[in-house]
């Protein structure tokens, strides 16, 4: 499966979201999102130098529960935004391979 095919595949189709209740959809999407964020966070921390890692962790702690604050993290740490995109694509590829 090519990268463009993976990107065209709709996650709602992949996970059968149309068959879930609104509450189940929200819970599943939240779980998927948190998994991707956690993977990107761990990767960012592993690949960053200590001062950047500490600043990153401090900023994350200060915005906990604040969605607008997450945008600040993405702006301040563009490499983290790249990692999020890469981890989302990797998650999608893995899900396709398991569910196909």
Please report the DSSP string for the chain in residue order.
--HHHHHHS-HHHHTTGGGS-HHHHHHHHHHHHHHHHHHHHHHHHHHS-HHHHHHHHHHHHHTTT-HHHHHHHHHH-HHHHHHHHHHHHHHHHHHHHHH-
**pLDDT, tens digit, for every residue of 4-31?**
444 445 667 777 778 888 898 889 888 9
Reported as a pLDDT band with limits 50, 70 and 90, residue 38 is very high
Residue 100 confidence (pLDDT): 63
Give yes or no for a contact between 42 and 82, defined as CB atoms under 8 angstroms apart: no
Residue 28 confidence (pLDDT): 87
Q: What is the pTM of this model?
A: 0.78
**pLDDT, tens digit, for every residue of 62-98?**
988 787 888 999 999 999 999 999 999 998 888 877 7
């Amino acid at each position: 499966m090519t990268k463009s095919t993976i990107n065209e595949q709709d996650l709602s189709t992949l996970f059968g979201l149309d068959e879930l209740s609104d509450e189940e959809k929200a819970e599943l999407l939240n779980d998927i999102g948190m998994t991707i964020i956690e993977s990107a966070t761990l990767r960012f921390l592993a690949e960053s130098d200590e001062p950047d890692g500490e600043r990153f962790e401090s900023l994350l702690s200060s915005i906990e529960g604040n969605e607008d604050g997450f945008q600040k993290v993405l702006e301040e740490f563009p490499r983290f935004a790249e990692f999020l995109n890469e981890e989302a694509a990797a998650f999608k590829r893995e899900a396709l391979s398991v569910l196909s």
